[in-house]
Amino acid sequence: MKTRTSLVAGLAAAALCLPVAAPAVAAPSSGSATFAAQVPSAQAPSARSGSVGGAASAKLGKPSYRKLQTTKKRTSVTVRVTKPRYQKVALQRKDSGKWRTVSTTRAPRAGSSAKVTLRVPAKAGNRAYRVVLGKSKHNKTVVSKSFKIFQSDSKKHAKYIAKARSYIKKYCPTTPIYIDSPRVKDSWAIGMAWTRWKATPRWTGKGWVYDWKWTQTIELASGQDAGQLRHTAIHECAHIVQARPIGKSEAAYDASKKAEKKIFAKGAADPQEQQADCMATAITGSTRYNYYTSSCKGSRAKNAKSMWKKWGLKYQNPERRWTTPAG
């Protein structure tokens, strides 16, 4: 059985591997920084950029895609073509060491630039892809850098995912679950949960606002018995819930983290991991599978139960978008 370890990454939180790191907020000009540094002013952004003239030949932008996908859900790769002239655009996948075309489309017949979308066929596993802009009288063949997309095998793991979902359907009813993802396979973790959020400033004509968005996912290792899977799924759902206060306000999130750090200060493990274990215990009534702490009584039990009660049923959309006033 795999053990678990802490993992910190950018805006995300991973569990049975998960610290919720401070989110980054894009400044009105460009770049990113912590929340404390980002308060939009009433002034228009100072950063500027521009260009004159057209591209000498057609070019490909950086492909846009989701690294985690499933074989069940229709997915795609988007790429920008500069100077489109009805060139063939192909998505290629590397199979057995050779690149083969798996999807094609055409760029528009005219324009300075345009985005094109390529369908990603179902193929389980973590596989390499690239986009190829076909040769034409306007350009030579252009090939993007390769990138990897993982597709969780929806058919193979259908019953396993359904079982995991049954344990968390009240609090994480639609959070995507991926099985044996690269992050899980390449680590000691048997589960991870991630919340990535971003706030982009926007001028409305009357003042600045933040357009927020977050993406939440759960990743599990296969092969866990019913008891372990139940605990792991609930523990990961707990990490999803830990991030939800940001859906209300930065102040709510900060207050939740302050209480977490105070109540779960004792112990070698990260406070949020201990809190997630106790949140799992609050539902299962057992500490048998707890990895980070078995001390889940008193103020810890009260806090764990309050997290489910206060945030478990709120902001459940794993692709939530919302807007808040700035300042």
Asked if residue 53 is part of any domain, the answer here is no
Domain end, chosen from 93, 119, 152, is at: 152
Backbone angles phi, psi at 91, to 5 degrees: -100, 125
pLDDT at residue 278, as a whole number: 98
Are residues 301 and 197 part of one domain?
A: yes
Could you tell me the residue range of the domain that residue 169 belongs to?
A: 8-31+153-325
Give pLDDT, residue 56.
Answer: 52
Asked if residue 317 has pLDDT above 70, the reply is yes
User: How many domains would you assign to the chain?
Assistant: 2
Give the C-alpha separation, 75 to 120, whole Å.
6
Does 36 fall in a domain? no
∠ CA 273-164-155, rounded to 5°:
130
pLDDT at residue 94 is higher than 60: yes
The helix or strand, by DSSP H or E, that contains position 226, with its residue range, turns out to be helix 226-243
Q: Is residue 46 part of a domain?
A: no
Residues 136 and 228 in one domain: no
pTM of the model: 0.80
pLDDT on residue 158:
97
Task: Give me the sign of the Cα torsion angle 200, 201, 204, 208.
Answer: positive
Q: In angstroms, rounded to a whole number, what is the distance separating the alpha carbons of residues 53 and 170? A: 56
State how far the Cα of 187 lies from the Cα of 221, in Å rounded to an integer: 10
Residue 1 lies in a domain: no
Question: 259-275: per-residue pLDDT in tens?
Answer: 999 999 998 899 999 99
What pLDDT band is residue 127 in, cutting at 50, 70 and 90?
A: very high
| End position of a domain, from candidates 106, 134, 152 | 152
How far is 284 from 292, CA to CA, in rounded Å?
A: 16
Answer yes or no: do 203 and 256 share one domain.
yes
The reply to whether 159 and 112 lie within a common domain is: no
Is the pLDDT at 255 greater than 60, yes or no? yes
Residues 188 and 133 in one domain: no
Domain presence at residue 68: yes
Interacting residues of 265 by C-beta distance below 8 A, sequence separation 6+: 271
Q: Are 188 and 290 within one domain?
A: yes
Asked if residue 132 and residue 93 are part of one domain, the reply reads yes
Three-state SS for 150-213 is EEECCCCCHHHHHHHHHHHCCCCCCCCEEECCHHHHCCCCCEEEEEEEEEEEEECCCCEEEEEE
Assess if residue 97 is contained within a domain.
yes
Q: Provide φ and ψ at 246, rounded to 5°.
A: -65, -20
- Identify whether residues 110 and 248 lie together within a single domain: no
Domain boundary at 152, 179, 207, which? Answer: 152
Least Cα distance to 194 among 222, 221, 218, 229 occurs for 218
User: Both 317 and 213 in a single domain?
Assistant: yes
Whole-angstrom distance, CA of residue 157 vs CA of residue 229: 13
Q: Is residue 273 part of a domain?
A: yes
Examine the pLDDT at 29 and tell me if it is beyond 80: no
Q: Residue 138: what pLDDT? A: 87
State mean pLDDT over 191-203.
Answer: 96
Residue 228 pLDDT more than 70? yes
Beta strand 68-70 pairing with 147-152: parallel
One domain for residues 134 and 160: no
Check whether 2 has a pLDDT greater than 70.
no
Is the pLDDT score of 129 beyond 70? Answer: yes
Contact assessment for residue 47 and residue 40, using Cβ atoms and an 8 Å cutoff: no
CATH number, domain containing residue 113? 2.60.40.150
283: confidence class by pLDDT, cuts 50, 70, 90: very high
Is 50 within the bounds of a domain? no
Q: Are residues 126 and 158 in the same domain?
A: no
Please write the tens of the pLDDT for every residue from 138-184: 899 999 999 999 999 999 999 999 999 999 999 999 999 999 999 99
Q: What is the mean pLDDT of residues 27-55?
A: 30
Residues 218-243: what's their mean pLDDT?
98
**Cα 38 from Cα 43, distance rounded (Å):** 14
Model pLDDT, residue 57? 78
Q: Is there a single domain that holds both residue 169 and residue 111?
A: no
